[in-house]
Amino acid sequence: QMLDLAELYQALGGQLDAQYRRLLDAVARFIAAHWHEPDQGLWEMRGPPRHHLHGKLMSWTGMDRAGRLLDAKWSEVAKRIEAEIRAHAAAPENGCLRQAYDGGTDVAVLLAPMLGFALQPQELDRTIANVREALEIGGFLARYKGEDGVCGGEGEFLVCSSWLADAQLAAGQIDEARAVIDKLVDCANDVGLYAEEIDSRNGEFLGNFPQALTHLGLIANAVNLQLVERGGVAAVSGSYADRARRAVGASFGWRGVVAAMIQSSRIARLFSSKQSQLAWP
């Protein structure tokens, strides 16, 4: 995540100084040393460690970004991780992505296209269909299916619907994605906020409230839908940095000023006016 956001920061005009590069290099070295180990997954399963696909995808993401930001040697590690994912992550019977190398269904596999991990159209279509068939409840999505070592049940996680919509946009399922996004918009409470989960039986919010991740997911949906409407499915391909370049252009320095003027169709002040400056007593 750090390396992915560093690439995003640089893509929008930010400068990575020597101190940041040393930090990112330490992160890259950690990933390279540990990516092959099993883990507890994104959802922190209380069982034995497994080779969860999400952990492998994020390790690939880190090495891919480090290869572009820091040193080409990390790209070779990214290639090794990619080869292992392609060899072990897909279900042999239909090619859809699984929760872990040993099976399972997990909504987190839908993050693959937004991370820039290339999938064949049929692989993405089958993965979307499998996730919906196994995890969709009342128009929303559970996080995963299977034992997690925790007693009791839970609601459907709202950010999972955002991940579904993004994957549908990447797959060219535009109308389906728009319907998912519209359903999320309609779930907002009277002041426009969202919780972590929803009870699909009655529409009541559950879990942490307000939940930033839910809001960020919906914001990303709006940006990605606009990109597709303007430039087709290809406009949401690649990494977060690639989409940011297309959607924003730049956020820092003179490039940021020019991009803001183009986006808003307005010529704004480059310096604060006296009226806008806070007057201290």
- What's the Rg (C-alpha) of the chain? 21
Structure tokens, 263: 């986006």
Output the pLDDT for position 223.
93
- CA separation (Å) from 70 to 3, 77, 181? 10, 13, 37
Beta strands 105-106 and 140-141: pairing type? unpaired
How sure is the predictor about 45, in pLDDT bands with cuts at 50, 70 and 90?
confident
214: pLDDT strictly greater than 90: yes
249: pLDDT strictly greater than 80: no
pLDDT mean across residues, the chain = 89
- Model pLDDT for residues 98-157, shown as the tens digit of each residue: 999 989 999 999 999 999 999 989 999 999 999 999 999 888 999 988 777 777 777 889
Q: What is the mean pLDDT of residues 255-271?
A: 67
Q: Which of 277 and 190 is assigned the larger pLDDT?
A: 190
Output the pLDDT for position 173.
95
Task: Tell me the pTM.
Answer: 0.87
Output the pLDDT for position 281.
53
The lowest-confidence range among 27-31, 237-241, 258-262, 267-271 is 267-271
Helices 18-34 and 53-69 cross at an angle (nearest 10°) of 140
Output the pLDDT for position 46.
87
